[in-house]
Structure 1
Amino acid sequence: MCAIDQPTGDVLSLERETPGAAVKFDGVQKSYDGETLVVKDLNLDIRAGEFLTMLGPSGSGKTTCLMMLAGFEPPTHGEIFLDGRPIGQLPPHKRGIGMVFQNYALFPHMTVGENLAYPLKVRGLSKADIKAKVQRALDMVELSAFGGRRPAQLSGGQQQRIAVARALVFEPNLVLMDEPLGALDKQLREQMQYEIKHIHENLGVTVVYVTHDQTEALTMSDRVAVFNDGKIQQLSPPAELYEAPKNSFVAQFIGENNKLSGQVTKMVNGHCEVTLDTGAVVKAAPVNVDGEGARTTLSLRPERVTIGDTAAETTLGGRVSELIYLGDTIRARLAVEGNDEFIVKVPNHNRAVSLKEGETVTVGWATEDCHALDPIAT
């Protein structure tokens, strides 16, 4: 049993007129050895009622942030606030936070109903209130007939739904989820993404979700905080994160991305001209460049590139190396201006794709779809 499911006590009241809890990280740092910072000067405001995902690779600091918010790890420096009140001195069981883990953390010796009732019993609710709240929680995750079963009698997806229900049964205003879908297969994982999203929308609780899965983050979140090297690289709604990455790390980490390296040779009319390392000149939208003479990495999404459109704003020559049939699209890998892994997603309209491996083609795109970002270190 996670200590976070204990009574809230009188130290911090989470009652409010509107659902959800606002969270603030103010100059938070964390070091485990006193030398290396795994979280560096984190300043983050999480709005009451929003679904915010902390996304990043292993070691980026996202899980450490969640553990500090839960109370399992103390910040080395800075403060965390819940609805404007500092919680650094509060133990986990006094924070009134629900939490969902990857391994479900259900009591194997208890029935599903008893698992859900436990957080309510330790809060001193009456038997009638407990019965009603447990039934509502089971209905919420569409498992109303499973209250008498033990966790071992449930599928992985059913166990995860019960874990979500237990985190919500005592009606917390803040729920933390640490890689909760990591143990599920692809189809069930996708199904649970939508279920958790819909539960959040219906209840209005604040959810802080940690994952390294970009698709999960884009599917479920109101905003996504992309972590790397202990810092937030970008904090944006999913569409903005994908369509307008602020730096090369975000562009590479979120979705597929084609990159071309070169030097900014001209800034004109809100665009820049970049001379690629191969000598070709490309127009791009400057996002994170230092001006003329600076090195840059161009970022292009595969679905924004066309093949054979000689009227596109920018066109370059390429050679088809590989074609992979994916049903709705053909994934074409090309060699383009020194990038041998240049990907184009070609819509499969009426089986009309006639590309052939080894042929020379023209690739093209709109200037606004080509982002000039900071150079990727080599």
Structure 2
Amino acid sequence: MVASPEDAFVAFDGVQKSYDGETLVVKDLNLFISKGEFVTMLGPSGSGKTTCLMMLAGFETATTGDIRLDGKPINNIPPHKRGIGMVFQNYALFPHMTVGENLAFPLEVRKMSKADREAKVMRALDMVQMGEFAGRRPAQLSGGQQQRIALARALVFEPELVLMDEPLGALDKQLREHMQFEIKHIHERLGVTVVYVTHDQSEALTMSDRVAVFDDGRIQQLAPPEDLYERPENSFVAQFIGENNKLSGKITAREGDTVNVQFANGENCSALAVNCGDVGDETLLSIRPERVVIDGPADHNSVDAKVLELIYLGDHIRCRVNVHGNEDFIVKVPNAAGHKHLVVGETTRLTWAREDCRALDAA
């Protein structure tokens, strides 16, 4: 359930951040997260996402606005008193301590008895399938194992909120993908609230209940993964999330939620009016590669395209074509019976449905 400002477990209310008193790196942030939700802050470097996480953790202070946790303002509460679990990319494990001692440390700080500490440490290690490693030191573990221990340490004192800052960035692709599902399943089992920061869009789509896409210090769109991909609200989100084809044109007619767009060569295209201007304005059309069909239905939009490159990827052929001078237009042709076999250099006809084509801001 999407949180409202009143019932949000984590709330950023009108938050702004400036380091020099002039330039805002976070601008008028309003973000409300429900208890038990997994929300990812996604964006390119310098977009403001990590600064938001650091303000929530208490390592940075908001210039203006309020940050609340479970209804209580935390702007002036130091990090160690916020009761938040943290997982970083560099693991931040104590090298001179064993795995068990690393996990016991946050419990000792909380004056927990030895028996309770031992029980909680073993429970947390079992949660990440590292129970037999309690006596080892971090240097004796692989990168993936160290990251599991860092995750267990963040969960060992049973916080209601866990923050993760690019925690899988140092892992290889296969291990990273495996850990994505591990973290997702742990979240589902525990019901803990997670705020996760990454620049990896596939990671965000795989793990999150909702994703906040950041650019230039602002949330460009906040939505579940499927909505972000299928229904981007502006050209930045369309380009940043997944692979996307874009074509420029001018709006020549508008009726309800449909616009007619004319390309420079005079051809026309029908599209959903999502975030575009009026008749006479420039717009940018967004079409996902898998929604483009070769020689599709006659009532669909259609354009001529010259085949430039074919790449075999097993389940599909990635076809790069030239459409109206755009040489990076991609078509994903299923590698299955009944689909046309293309040849580099030939001209073919591409088609797509109006509902798969979104008219967005020209920027």
Q: TM-score range by the shorter chain?
A: over 0.9
> Which residue, 90, 93, 103 being the options, matches 2:90?
103
Give the corresponding residue for 1:5.
none
Give the corresponding residue for 2:29.
42
Q: Deviations 1:197-233 (Å, cap 9, x if unpaired)?
A: 0000000010000000000000000000000000000
Equivalent runs, 1:92-131 vs 2, <5 Å: 92-131=79-118
Give the corresponding residue for 1:296.
283
Task: State the 1:268 CA deviation.
Answer: 2.1
Give, in whole Å, the separation in 2 of the partners of 1:110 and 1:374.
Answer: 54
> Which residue, 178, 188, 193 being the options, matches 1:191?
178
| 1:29–1:272 Cα change, 3 Å | same
Give the corresponding residue for 2:138.
151
- Secondary structure, counterpart of 1:201 in structure 2: helix
Letter in 1 for 2:74: I
Give, in whole Å, the separation in 1 of the partners of 2:137 and 2:131.
Answer: 14
Give the corresponding residue for 1:230.
217
Give the corresponding residue for 2:20.
33
Equivalent runs, 1:345-360 vs 2, <5 Å: 345-350=332-337, 354-360=341-347
Give, in whole Å, the separation in 1 of the partners of 2:232 and 2:110.
Answer: 45
Q: Is residue 252 from structure 1 mapped to residue 248 from structure 2 by the alignment?
A: no
> Which residue, 155, 158, 163 being the options, matches 1:168?
155
> Which residue, 284, 305, 308 being the options, matches 2:271?
284
Greater displacement, 307-316 / 202-211: 307-316
| 1:247–1:82 Cα change, 3 Å | same
Give, in whole Å, the separation in 2 of the partners of 1:343 and 1:352.
Answer: 16
Identity %: 71
| 1:147–1:350 Cα change, 3 Å | farther
Letter in 2 for 1:136: R
Task: State the 1:310 CA deviation.
Answer: 4.7
TM-score using structure 2 length: 0.96
Query: Does the Cα contact within 8 Å between 1:312 and 1:364 map onto a contact in 2?
Result: no
Q: Deviations 1:327-363 (Å, cap 9, x if unpaired)?
A: 1110000001221110001111159652110011010
Task: State the 1:276 CA deviation.
Answer: 1.4
Give, in whole Å, the separation in 2 of the partners of 1:140 and 1:101.
Answer: 19
Gap runs ≥5 in structure 2: 1-6
| 1:129–1:221 Cα change, 3 Å | same
Give, in whole Å, the separation in 1 of the partners of 2:94 and 2:299.
Answer: 60
| 1:271–1:182 Cα change, 3 Å | same
| 1:269–1:230 Cα change, 3 Å | closer
Greater displacement, 293-302 / 303-312: 303-312
Task: State the 1:175 CA deviation.
Answer: 0.4
Give, in whole Å, the separation in 2 of the partners of 1:295 and 1:360.
Answer: 27
Letter in 2 for 1:90: I
User: What RMSD over aligned residues (CA atoms) do the two structures have, in Å?
Assistant: 1.3
Letter in 1 for 2:271: A
TM-score using structure 1 length: 0.93
Q: Is residue 206 from structure 1 mapped to residue 193 from structure 2 by the alignment?
A: yes
Q: Is residue 60 from structure 1 mapped to residue 36 from structure 2 by the alignment?
A: no
> Which residue, 251, 259, 272 being the options, matches 1:264?
251
Task: State the 1:295 CA deviation.
Answer: 1.2
Query: Does the Cα contact within 8 Å between 1:21 and 1:206 map onto a contact in 2?
Result: no
Q: Deviations 1:264-288 (Å, cap 9, x if unpaired)?
A: 1101253110011232110000100
- Secondary structure, counterpart of 2:179 in structure 1: helix
Give the corresponding residue for 1:85.
72
> Which residue, 330, 341, 359 being the options, matches 2:328?
341
Number of matched pairs: 357
Give, in whole Å, the separation in 1 of the partners of 2:158 and 2:256.
Answer: 54
Greater displacement, 339-348 / 20-29: 20-29
Gap runs ≥5 in structure 1: 1-19
Letter in 1 for 2:322: A
Q: Deviations 1:233-284 (Å, cap 9, x if unpaired)?
A: 0000000000000000000000110000011110125311001123211000
Give, in whole Å, the separation in 2 of the partners of 1:166 and 1:312.
Answer: 58
Query: Does the Cα contact within 8 Å between 1:135 and 1:144 map onto a contact in 2?
Result: yes
